[in-house]
Chains A and B, each alone.
Chain A
């Protein structure tokens, strides 16, 4: 049957060859081909290819080898590399195959320079395999009977070609199947390994460019075994507290190989391993007793093995197995210390005995109880007291003295050696010297210089300094021959107070203390600064110390930083012990911002900003201004008071006018027909012509007053106004004063009932002012004829007022008695009035002539008003003073008013023919 199908296949192939004359061609005939076909070339070698044209194409297309061009991909190969061998064959040579690429094509330039492809080949460039190196093998035990051998090697350079590696091994007369790596090219694992026969092992590497073979390794696989580690490891506590028996099973039978072992062990929790001496475990075994262990300690064990002769590999360590030794009696007494509290009574102590629990390797078991024995050494007769304690402290109430305390720890096996503590009456012995600390990673080393005397041991106390809680004391005992210990459990950034006491055989030294940090940091917060007092150029700053928790280290200094809003910052460094500082040379009335920084060795922290404003005035400046001002004011007031005091009569008179006492009045004796003896000549000299513009005498009676019409009284109103704006010129009540106000004169007559009641016969003076302000007023006084003695004081008060402007007024007084010529115009008018009063008193005749000087410069309005007033007054007067004599000078000087004005001043006549006393 097979032969029949074979013939059919041959026949089909023959048919294809007929249809396709070119083997590589297919149905289309090619005009040539390239030799070699798809070569694999060594990188860097030379290479020559031939393009062979078919004869049939030569005649058909007139193409020859000389027309052949070679191309690599689309790149033309230089013609220097061509060689025309004959008319149908062209060759191309490459000296270095690294310049080759795929495809390499043979082309021809036909007529018209048309390029036509003839043939192309694929070129593969690579390297022959290198000889594999460093072949090594190891036999891994997989199970009790299963071993696999894994060999590894260095495959060498990359070949760029498909390279096959195969691991070969054989016995002299038996060749085993090759081991072909999967996915890798540098290792392979053989599963059917037989021991005790030398096996020859090697590696072959093969690719298209060649084959390479490693050195042959001849080895008995038993010599390269890495066995499995022993299994089922167990530990058994022995009779002795320092022994543990280790048992295990081996995976490899003695028939295959004898083993040796390594045993290591460690205390659980410790990382350091100890090893049993190798010579003790150099033979095959399944158990071993480990000695020299600590009692009542848990150990972890691990074991490994290898071939007894040491040829091969160690197994991995077995998984750890733990076991515990049995208890033993404590090896030493607990360290003991005491804290004596004698605060409540110096004669009695509260002694807190403290001791540390024994470390496991010292306790050698579970401590069941402690036995404390206290013996009073100062009194031999005192009984020894014993206490059984389960905790690690005990408190005693003892009388002050010297005591010996003994402490023994008990476990289930036995008692520890005793620990003895001597509690002396006083700690008067020499202390340690030069106490210092030094951080060492996570420990704090405390060192000291020993006292000169022999020290049994030292007690080092330390506690975490806290601002919020008491110092919880921790302590540790060091032997007398050491001068430094490491304190463990010290936290960084915390302040510790460390005290060292030397203990002597006969007493105890006083403690020396030092503060220390394991590690410092910058403070956790900065100081909060504020002002205590702010002045003009200085400010007193105050702050609180940081708490010890906030310090995080030793505060080396405080730094005050202050500045104005737009100024540079000023820095001041302050001693850390200070809590107050005075900033000076500040600018007054300026806003300052101040903050404070606390610094340790490891950094600084700044507190919050605080602002303050300096004062505008310094201390005492305000007082320096205010006090003089006040003093000046007081002085002025004082002077004013003194002045007023001096002038009290005048003021009194001004404020409280003296009301005439009717009981002291006299009946005026006045004869209207007899003119007064006036020395007009002198007055004429004083007052030039025209100075008297108007003289009016008003006689007002209480009963008649109402008979005057408003029109008639208008001039008096005008006078009031004039008086209010002019410098004071008035006539007082009674109209005797040149300074009496016309208003007063009028109002007195208008308002005062008393006046009304008593003034029915009083003559009032009327002042008619022609001056205004700085103009010289012309006053017309209408003098009453009162001869009351009270006028004397009244006129004196008026004299004061009138003196102020006496120079601005021209006044003429007519003394009724005419005994003296009034020629001195500079004299105060009140003096003159006084004289007049005196004259009135003497003559019992009173009249007043008021001269009012007209001013040519008087404003027109006012002048008209004045004239109107004068006219009105004149009318009034005229109606009331008929028959009165008019002074000739006045008449002459003021002819316009001659008809209207009375010719002379006529004293009022009492209707009943006499002068009525007021």
Chain B
């Protein structure tokens, strides 16, 4: 290891401005090999991990005969076999790199239209070094950034902000440039130091059989370092998650105006022929699909098609977006300002962005973010703008149009508006579906919508809505596109902007209508601190891969594709499976803050808890959460006390430290009437529960096993499983379970409990261990509010509801019922007041067949089957055994 010594590396780091604030990465690459690097040196630059798949564009590049000797082909062959990608060096980097790496095939690239910039437009020129010596298999791609990046450095992209900081003088005054505007002359000469560094790296790779890929932006020689040590990429995702990068950091250091006016030349879909929003509208209007429905309706209603066509035009005008770069820039500017006020950090996994970048070029992309807050709405657009990717069009509820100016602004930022319910309106459905599909098919822009349909008031993931998902999947089913990428995106908030609003809403105080004045009034929150946002862009999921072997195409082959066709059961099931899968992927990558753990512990120890004990318990829970696969953002060097304290500070409106005890913050409890006290307390509990809830989807499988263990009359496996399966059915609206795999969920729960030594399993039995009784009781206590809440609601239904009722009658009724019980003190289950839980419980009963749901002209009405409900209630109370066919194999 004489080649890379500390001085030489430090020197290089300084002279070339090698980027990397991610010390951990360098640790991964160097530390192992006993090379120490000063943090300060690394922090001057940006560093980034890229998964090997990103490199594949080079795979099929042709060998360049001049630079590729006969050996090169062999080399490529071996390389590709070993690592799944090939090496190639384009253009001017070629010679130098070629000398360095020995054998470097180059891809053919069409000459770029823009002078001196091979990287113009969408695809950045790639410069790959490769090595195949010894046992090492690796490639070192050098990636000159597109011209836009050279000057404006999107976001926290490597080299970007940091370069800005280090060499601000390099960045000349910027003129506002439109997307298609002239690119500034690029400086693409590879600087010697960076080259040297890469060579060293290369040699380093040779010495150690590790896989490296170095991405380097040529002009400033800001290196992006990639390293996938010893590990195939897949393992990496399952075990170690991507690193986050704060995109606000750069915003705090450079001008927002300049950022908003940066040259934006996004990466777009390869097959896209650019068109204006209006062109899409007219394409939709004249599409066979819409014309067919118009003709049908005209015939049925006896009206002239022109009138209906007119109607369709109106629908389109109401719905359609009018994306304009001006509005986007406006948002880029204002959102920067607002985000900086509200949040400490906005963290993004840059690997995810890289993956997204590739996905966008390859196939139409659908972005599926989680939905916890209005902030989600433009967050992704903001992010994609920052990273120079095509801006998404966003499905928004029509209520936004009620907001003056803002609605119109959103429209210009790419929002399109859908009515909340349009099941019966065939014309609307046809126009809407075709509008979405047209944008998808042409690859016009990524399509973004929320699977959950609405903001989750409880921070639990809501059960998915299928309508839009099935629309975006249809072009693939009909093979109008080769593939579609679905990208699950998890947006986690350390503190949710609307937390108290949600709690009020859940308690029945109506949600304020979306309005501009409301928005303006809400500006006082700007002075508050809402902590960190984590955005995890998941691995794009290929719909084709999901569908392979599952979908029988026949129904689509036998009917002309433009006819509206009700999806077959197969398809519906598939859509639902995909929806659940995507939500589970969202959940998997949700970032949990220490405060979430604190909230979970605190809720089990009301009204007050000793601070030290809380810390201890929190730490214990952290371990448990990690065992269960939770993704906790807890820096290595942060001590538990500090973590808990910072959580308490951030959430001082919910809980506080009084005399060494942590208590819920329900102000004014003492001097109010009893009802007032209950309401106040419920408010605090619900707000706190919102944070605990973030933990639930990670815990639900083992926890339900724990609950089942306590419910079941014996420890026999079948009985525990029956209880588990019963609970899973009852809570199917409350938590996200992949449909139909009850047994697998059970096994997973058991496995996780076994892993943390909470239970032991034998051939026939499952029983808690002595050591694990604490865990089991903690888990069941965690879910007790749900068990008890459902019992209360079921009791209400079985006792009080003799006649048909509507949901509007049911919610206040059950709320009063629970309220009275709470006032009397005969229950402590404040969470049963949550309208969310009440609705979920009702629909669970509908699914279990204990309540009949009927469609009436005025809406849905419900009829309770008293007997069935009391039977379910008895099962809950473990008074009668759960009658469930036992799974054949356990």
**Chains A and B form a bound pair:** no
Q: Which A residues are closer than 8 A to B by beta carbons?
A: none
